[in-house]
Structure 1
Amino acid sequence: MPRLDFEARDRDGVLKKYGYLDMEDGEEEEPAKMTFYGDIVSSEAWGADREPQQIVDFLAELPENKQINLYFNSPGGDAFAGVAMYNILNRWKGKRVGYVEAIAASAATMPLMACDEIHMGTGAEIMIHDPWTWTAGNAAYLRDCADRLEKVGDHYADIYAKKAAEGVTREELRQAMTAETWIDSSNAARYFDIITDGGEAAAPAASVFYKKYKAVPQHVLDALEAQEAARMAAQSAERVTAKNNQAKAADAAEERQSRAQALLCDLYLYGT
């Protein structure tokens, strides 16, 4: 099963892996499966412009009209890569069913919106907001970046409007984007045509992007904090185990050395 690692740069500029995309073709009678369990990235922003092409390659191997089930636990990422994924998946003639297992935020909402049917469980979250970026340059370049961001935001709103709940306008969704709106199973029907299931949400995928958002729900932050605490505890336990193993190895080496010295002493005494 092909695995595509998701990468993003931390605050020190170091490229790190924060998730992956598994893509597999199920049995002939079963839907194909695609899981988004990390950041959405592209070469323009992160140096990994292969996700959209990987999806193209994956779909090229499937029988025509085969159903695809997409599973989401992604805090978002590169806005342009998200739009590319939407367009690629939207061209697929088979049925597309999306499941929000924990998080589908920002750019991750684009492949989600390409689904004919969207499900989300209790505690799962969808987040829509105005796209943002970080860059550097002169005034003309920065104005151009702002114009392009505005256009991307308009494209997102157009796509959201196609999945809007009855009576919800594009303008209302655009306002929700500006406010950074988090949508769960209790208020999903206010925005989108979504099927709410009774299953509990999975733990949210870890990412640097949460620090960039301004209205992350407290239960998501609590879950991320618990994950980080568990990770730190596991690392601490590993360090303690490694230290104990080193101490045991040192004790064993010292014991062997003592035995060797005792043996040499006995041989010396025997020889005299």
Structure 2
Amino acid sequence: MSRFWQFIRNQASGTTPENIELRIEGNIVDSEDAWLYEWFGIPAASPNAFRIELAQYAGKDITLWVDSYGGSVFAATGMYIALIEHKQTGAKITGKVGSKAMSAGTIPLMACDEILMSLVAIMMVHNPLSSIQGYASDMRKAADVLDIIKDTIINAYANKTGKPRDVISAMMDDETYMSANVAVKEGFADGVLYQENGKPENIMNFAYNRITIQNSANESIRHLFALVDSSVIPVKNSKEEEFIVDLAELKEKYPDIYNSAINEGTLVVVKAERERIKAFDVLNGKVDADFLANAKYVEGATAENVLFKAMQEGKIINAAYVTSAEADAETANAVPGDASDDAKPDEVTGILNKVTAIAKRTLGIQEGGK
């Protein structure tokens, strides 16, 4: 399986003891869903495989790096418990965030003895969310389940921060984004990486895509509803109502309906993956071929993310194109963002605007949509 966690053993040297580095950088998925990600080569991490591998390092100190938009709440809490159990073997866990720890991606961090964030890192906490269809009773039950899930997440946050539960709940309601210093102030982190002279970092404008940073209770919550009466499927084409209680019975009694549902779900996933692959075509001749192939087929990255990374690592081979795109992007600096403390664009904001404009031009993204 193409996983986005990795254990790295750093051997002892001199006075430095052996240390295990653990990186979690992909979608966090439930174990029962892992086969689908494996089938399509999508990077992901599941708690069962994670727990098995973690057991090999019992008693060893771990530095945990997290760079994740999140994923399944239940899978993330499974990892959280596995890390708590690892500390019972006498190990210390130090958490570090270089870029982002959002949504369910924050939960494994809460098991750490110490959490450090880089100057440019973002941490985000919000309420779990899901989608469901059915009767009014189903909607009410879904809301009750989400409240319970939120309460369990608050347990982890409160245990780490020491903050009152109602304060944490309000932060989740507000979908709170925290810079490194703000996270330290709020108790979600203990220190700031690479900060010179203790100076606080500047808060820059930024945008986010809600679709990419959901707490994915969407998928996991369906397992809870398999245990309640609302999950039965009424079939009304006979004299007496017939109730299908699980997928196995549906497959046995109505194989055509079962196969149709499975095939439709597979087609949706296949279509999404084909669109991701097709998006890379516009980068041919502009990005180093080997770099592009690795991102496309091995890492499972998106074309837009690859373009950003290619510019960062010097993998752009059409320099004239980039120069031309940069010239076209100059006007981006004049476009105001959200209000900041001094309302003046600085050098970093200008660079980000240029890179965004280059990405949009390269991938054919127009303002207001694709």
Q: Compute the TM-score of the two structures, normalised by the length of structure 1.
A: 0.64
User: What is the Cα deviation at residue 198 of structure 1?
Assistant: 2.2
Match of 1:114 in 2: 111
Higher relative contact order (CA 8 A, sep 6+): 1
Of 183, 186, 203, which aligns to 2:178?
Answer: 183
1:158 paired with 2:155, answer yes
After superposition, give the CA deviation of every residue in 1:195-246 in whole Å (9 maximum; x if it has no partner): 1122699xxxx99843659xxxxxxxxxx99846547998996xx9xxxxxx
Distance of 2:150 and 2:156 partners within structure 1: 10
Q: CA deviation at 1:43?
A: 4.4
Measure the CA separation in 1 of the matches of 2:309 and 2:99: 19
Cα root mean square deviation, aligned? 3.6
Aligned residue in 1 for 2:8? 24
Give the Cα separation in 1 of the matches to 2:96 and 2:83: 15
Q: Which amino acid aligns with 2:123?
A: I
2:29 maps to 41
Query: How far apart are the structure 2 equivalents of 1:125 and 1:184?
Result: 5
| Contact in 2 for aligned 1:102/1:123 (Cα 8 Å) | yes
The alpha-carbon distance between structure 1 residues 231 and 99, as it changes in their structure 2 partners (threshold 3 A), is closer
Partner Cα distance (2:2, 2:192) in 1: 29
- From the superposition, tell whether residues 142 and 235 of structure 1 become closer, same or farther in structure 2 (CA, over 3 Å): farther
Could you tell me how far 1:59 is from its partner in structure 2?
2.0
2:195 is the counterpart of 1:210: no
Match of 1:262 in 2: none
The corresponding residue for 2:76 is 82
Change (3 A) 1:85 1:58: same
Alignment correspondent of 1:104: 101
**In 1, distance between residues paired with 2:178 and 2:74?**
22
Query: How far apart are 1:72 and its partner, in Å?
Result: 1.0
Equivalent position of 1:54 in the other structure? 49
Q: Give the alignment of 1:237-256 within 5 angstroms.
A: none
Q: Mark the CA change 1:32 to 1:43 in structure 2 (over 3 Å): closer, same or farther.
A: same
Q: 1:195 aligns with which of 191, 197, 202?
A: 191
**Which amino acid letter does the alignment assign opposite residue 181 of structure 2?**
S
Change in CA separation of 1:174 and 1:68 when aligned onto 2, cut-off 3 Å: same
Amino acid at match of 2:79: M
For the 8 Å contact 1:127–1:180, the answer to whether it is kept is yes
| Alignment of 1:148 onto 2:142 | no
- Contact 1:173 1:191 survives alignment (8 Å): no
Deviates more, 1:132-141 or 1:79-88: 132-141
Structure 2 counterpart of 1:22, which letter? Q
Aligned counterpart for 1:65 among listed residues 47, 59, 66: 59
> Structure 1, residues 249-268: CA drift from partner, whole Å, max 9, x if none?
xxxxxxxxxxxxxxxxxxxx
User: Secondary structure at the residue paired with 1:22?
Assistant: strand
**Which consecutive residues of structure 1, in runs of 5 or more, have no partner in the other structure?**
6-19, 214-223, 241-272
> How many residues end up aligned between the 2 structures?
206
Distance 1:191 1:126 in 2: 11
User: What amino acid maps onto 1:52 in structure 2?
Assistant: P
Structure 1 residues 24, 198: CA separation in 2 closer, same or farther (over 3 Å shift)? closer
Give the Å deviation of 1:172. 0.6
Compare the two structures and name the one with the higher strand fraction.
1
Contact 2:102–2:213 (Cα < 8 Å) also in 1: no
Secondary structure, aligned partner of 1:81: helix
Change (3 A) 1:208 1:170: closer
Q: Residue 135 of structure 1 is aligned with which of 132, 140, 143?
A: 132
Residue 124 of structure 1 is matched in structure 2 by 121
What SS does structure 1 have at the residue aligned with 2:97?
Answer: strand
SS state at 2:129 partner? coil
Equivalent residues of 2:26, 2:67 under 8 A apart: yes
Which structure has the larger Rg over C-alpha atoms?
1
Q: For residues 96 and 149 of structure 1, do their structure 2 counterparts lie closer, same or farther at Cα, with a shift above 3 Å needed?
A: same
What CA distance in whole angstroms lies between the structure 2 residues aligned with 1:169 and 1:225?
43
The structure in which a higher percent of residues are helix is 2
Distance 1:163 1:142, change over 3 A: same
Deviation string, structure 1 residues 142-191 (Cα, Å, up to 9, x no partner): 333222211111111111011115xx322111100110001112312332
